[in-house]
Amino acid sequence: MTPWEIHGTELANCNCNTGCPCQFMSLPTKGSCEAAVAIVIDKGHYGDVDLSGTKLAQVYKWPGAVHEGNGTMQTIIDSSASPEQRAALEKIATGEDTEDMATFWWVFSAMSPNKLETLYKPIEVALDLEARTGTSKVPDVFETVFEPLTNPVTGADHRARINLPHGFEYHVAEVAKATTKTTGEIPLSDNIGTHAHLCELHMNNSGVLAA
């Protein structure tokens, strides 16, 4: 197994109500699960391959809950990545060189037998983690806009976090809401003002690391 480690940020939007039942071991709000995710790797490596400054994105769609399987997924790697970086990121993002069930990539890949061709396109990401705002965009695939939760009475920004001490994706995430518009091979139709989480990623072959 090739050793790898990454440190970066993730912007994710799914079609469930804010909070996302999956985080609490419940079934999806609408019965199915759809998600668009973008990741910026600030620092990392795959063996001797430096992954610092690379970006990747993924689109997922399951007919039911994730653990029920039969999902479809597509990985997008930023076109600026070198051939070596592309190969490394694809392996990480599809759960290779990872201990069984140690990361969300391993689980999501195992539950997605329908894998579309990996794309190499520019990935644009802007994130203010403190403000819970941001955007992620892949031309001809998807665009997501993130915004903070708001108090329905006062309209003021509302802040909430999810803390998963034994999570396979993160330990702490800021909760937001987001809307994703898709133009690629995997259409997402229900991601309108739905759950989003923004978080730091610290991970290796064995799972989530301390920040």
Q: What is the pLDDT of residue 32?
A: 96
Q: What is the pLDDT of residues 191-210, one digit of tens each?
A: 999 999 999 999 999 999 98
Give me the DSSP letters along 43-54.
EEEETTEE-TT-
pLDDT at 113: 98
Q: What is the pLDDT of residue 61?
A: 98
* CA 191/CA 117 separation, integer angstroms: 23
- pLDDT number for residue 188: 95
Q: Where are the domains of the chain?
A: 4-208
Structure tokens at 94: 């599809």
pLDDT for 189: 87
Low pLDDT (below 50) residues in the chain: none
Q: What is the pLDDT of residues 180-192, one digit of tens each?
A: 999 999 999 889 9
Backbone angles phi, psi at 92, to 5 degrees: -65, -45
